[in-house]
Amino acid sequence: MAERISNLAAITEHYDVVLCDVWGVLHNGVDCFPLASQALAAARQAGVTVVLITNSPRPSPGVIGQLKTMGVLDAAYDRIVTSGDVTMRLVAEGPRKVFFLGPERDLPIFDGIDVEITSPEEAEAIVCTGFYDDETDTPEDYQDLLSPLAARGLPLICANPDLIVERGHRMIPCAGAIAAYYQQLGGTTRIAGKPHAPIYAAALAAAREHRGAEIDLTRVLAVGDGMPTDVRGAIDAGLDLLYISGGIHAAEYTINGKPDEAILNAYLERENAAPKWWMQRLA
């Protein structure tokens, strides 16, 4: 059973490295959570290396700029590793002719990579960073586009494995929902972001480089709110987990605005998840 804590400082002494999720922990896509930034900054002052690990499809420089704009403290982290960063390697290793499925703001994922963005008919692979319009589109809206590509056996490289994120007080679908739908259509997917191993390997390498020493995995803490991504990824990587209950799954166990601990623990057991710690919001 997970132990509830009131602040990150209560467990800082147990860890040398924190791998912290971004969307749902540091901000909700509209507003940043100041106490979360302050908690990570305090952990760094106590000697902990903080690596942000996010399923954003953007390469890390773009996310750093976004975090500054939203008010996330520069002092809150040492390094950042994005799904976009690790997905760029998949793109570079894949076919040269690709069809891009996503908003134009995500085009930097191709920077420095020798690929040709082409039509669906000429493509040899799909790179998906999200919906053209995540405010209105659903995966089913792309059936006519994706079905022929799945039938041709084109792999879909998914740059953001998240199924949904919270934007303000609304749930918004992500590229992971398209990838799941593509699999339903019979297509194959290639994914490097959470919960998959490549992004954790990259984040731990970043922490190792920053600390200039090998890392004891028993002294690494993962922080996140997403069950299929943050939680499953931390479990698969063998890391301790601090579960943030106020994120995308809050409706499962929240009564009158507060998490019910018994219902929460039943939910975690049902999901076969065993975080070591939990709190409503990082502080």
Q: What is the pLDDT of residue 1?
A: 80
Return the amino acid letter for 35: L
Q: What does residue 235 show for φ and ψ, rounded to 5 degrees?
A: -65, -45
Mean pLDDT by 10 residues, the chain (283 residues): 94 98 94 96 98 96 94 97 96 96 96 96 98 95 98 97 89 95 98 96 98 97 96 96 95 92 94 96 97
Fold matches, 3-84+200-279 and 85-191: yes
The tokens describing 147, both together, are 């079905």
Q: What is the pLDDT of residue 120?
A: 97
Give domain limits for the chain: 3-84+200-279, 85-191
C-beta separation of 84 from 58 below 8 A? yes
**Architecture of the domain spanning 3-84+200-279:** 3-Layer(aba) Sandwich (3.40)
* Tokens 């480089």 belong to residue: 209
Q: What is the pLDDT of residue 173?
A: 93
Q: What is the pLDDT of residue 166?
A: 85
**Architecture of the domain spanning 85-191:** 3-Layer(aba) Sandwich (3.40)
* 279 strand-pairing partners: 244
* 212 strand-pairing partners: none
Query: 3-class DSSP state for residue 30?
Result: coil
Closest CA to 56 of 91, 79, 92, 80: 80
Long-range contacts of 250-259, Cβ-Cβ distance < 8 Å, separation of 24 or more: none
CA separation for the pair 279, 283 (Å, rounded): 9
C-beta separation of 8 from 40 below 8 A? yes
